[in-house]
Amino acid sequence: MWPYPRIIAHRGGGTLAPENTIAGLRCGLEHGYRAAEFDVMLSADGVPVLMHDPAFGRTVPGIGNVSETSAALLATMDAGSWFGPKFAGEPVPSFAEVIAFCHENGIWMNAEIKPSPGYAAETGRAAAALLKQALAEQGGQRLMPLFSSFSPEALMAARDIAPEIPRGLLIGQVPDDWQARLEQVGATALHTNYKNLKEEQAKAVKDAGFGLFCYTVDDPAIARRLLDWGVDAFCTDRVDLIAADFATR
């Protein structure tokens, strides 16, 4: 039912390295993780890059918006110094670079489509086209990556381009009409905030045959409880506290 890894590094390598960077993915690898969630946003010239916030200031210094900045300029920006001097100069990676890095290192990808406001469809289309092309070039048998998004519009746009790449719909709190919302975007999984999830909701999602993914779980006791409820997978910021094979222990 859930063919993917069950324990996934959030934003690349959790909070032990700068989020949404290759350094983050390396950090996950060092902790035994072969599965990562990260956020994909569009540059001004339509190139998917890894970024969580639509505006600069938190993880990259300066003022401005990702949607108004070219990919070439984004590639020169420092996404590591905010985290610590050891990571100074760590660039904003393109989604293409991250796909290649994950392929080389056997990392399964949960690519969260994170559109800047007003760019949902464009971001979904561009991310799907890029990933579809990369998968075709890689060839061979593989576990399919998984798209997710809080934006139904982005997921529908991704589906139009690459229906074969599965989708999970992110919803912070499970609404009564969750199943209709998943079916609208052709999602096979519900991704939700574990803090708002109730045991009976988890059971309902599983009984209806959907995957169930929680974010962002950093406490092993909570992780155990969620797995006991039937939650299929979760992402974590604490790859040092929760082992990559936690679900099988």
Which residues are marked as active site? 10, 52
CB-wise, 137 or 174, nearer to ligand G3P?
Answer: 174
Nearest approach, Cβ of 136 to ligand G3P (angstroms)? 25
Site string for ligand G3P, 7-46 (x = CB under 6 A): ---x--------------------------x-x-------
CB-wise, 11 or 73, nearer to ligand G3P?
Answer: 11
Among positions 39, 90, 218, 237, the unique one binding Mg ion when judged by CB under 5 A: 39
By CB under 6 A, is residue 237 in contact with ligand G3P?
no
When CB distances are held under 5 to 8 angstroms depending on the partner's kind, the choice from ligand G3P, Mg ion, none that residue 218 binds is none
Token reading at 18: 């700068």
By CB under 6 A, is residue 90 in contact with ligand G3P?
no
Burial track 157-188 (b if 16+ CB lie within 10 A, e otherwise): bbbebbeebbbbbbbeebeeebbeebeebebb
Q: Which of 131, 113, 140, 145 is nearest to 4 (CA)?
A: 145
Largest CA distance in the chain: 48
Q: Residue holding tokens 């998004």?
A: 149
CB-wise, 215 or 229, nearer to ligand G3P?
Answer: 215
The residue type of 65 is N
By CB under 6 A, is residue 151 in contact with ligand G3P?
no
Contact call for residues 132 and 162 (beta carbons, < 8 A): yes
Query: How many amino acids of this chain bind ligand G3P (CB under 6 A)?
Result: 10
Q: Give CA 186 to chain center in angstroms.
A: 18
Among positions 112, 122, 218, 232, the unique one binding ligand G3P when judged by CB under 6 A: 112
